Amino acid sequence: MRKVIMYMQSTLNGYGADPGDEMFWASISEQTWEFTNSLHERCDAILMGRKMYQDFLGFWPEAAKDESDSDVARHARWQYDLSKFVVSTTLTEADPAWPNTRILGDLDAVRALKEQPGKDILIAGGIGITKALANAGLIDDYYIHLNPATIPDGTLLLDSRLDLKLVEAKQHDTGVVALHYTPA
């Protein structure tokens, strides 16, 4: 069975984004990209909510045209080529600018997707869809990069009761602590 993997950045006080849905506080380093690149080997699909999908359409398809060896360009090309699944009850069709995208109507479709053959599935973004998947018990691995920063307000990364077991903790040179949890 495929796993659904969450990988998100968080502040020390639990926020995944500031009120403007920005992440200026996130410390992105070479170690961050090394971890991200390891997910390229492990995952053959990404999963996202409608809002993040629509936000991503404004950046990632165009970034995939960059033929350089930069981390962003490699990540953009990886996303462009693989299967993309959007959980939405309002979208009816995917934008052709980002091929291999399929609209899933609800979380039952995610359950069915986990049963299909393939590598793991990475949640590519959206705190709302992440919370919904967590609350439904559909996330198998939680990777949180805990940043040495706080912000006074924002959107909590997770906001319901989850019983998790720490698998691994690593400190990055930037002070970020990379945490890996699984459901207890």
pLDDT in tens, 70-127: 988 999 999 998 999 999 999 999 999 999 999 998 999 999 999 999 999 999 878 9
From CA 106, how far away is CA 88, in angstroms rounded? 7
pLDDT at 170 over 90: yes
- Residue 20 confidence class, pLDDT cut points 50, 70, 90: confident
From CA 77, how far away is CA 141, in angstroms rounded? 24
From CA 73, how far away is CA 64, in angstroms rounded? 6
Q: What percent of the chain has pLDDT over 90?
A: 91
Burial (CB count <10 Å: 0-12, 13-18, 19+), residue 57: middle
At 161 the pLDDT is 95
The model's pTM = 0.93
List, in sequence order, the alpha helices (H) in 15-166: 30-42, 50-57, 60-63, 71-81, 107-115, 127-135
Quickly count: other Cβ atoms within 10 Å of residue 7's Cβ.
21
- Average of pLDDT values for 51-62? 92
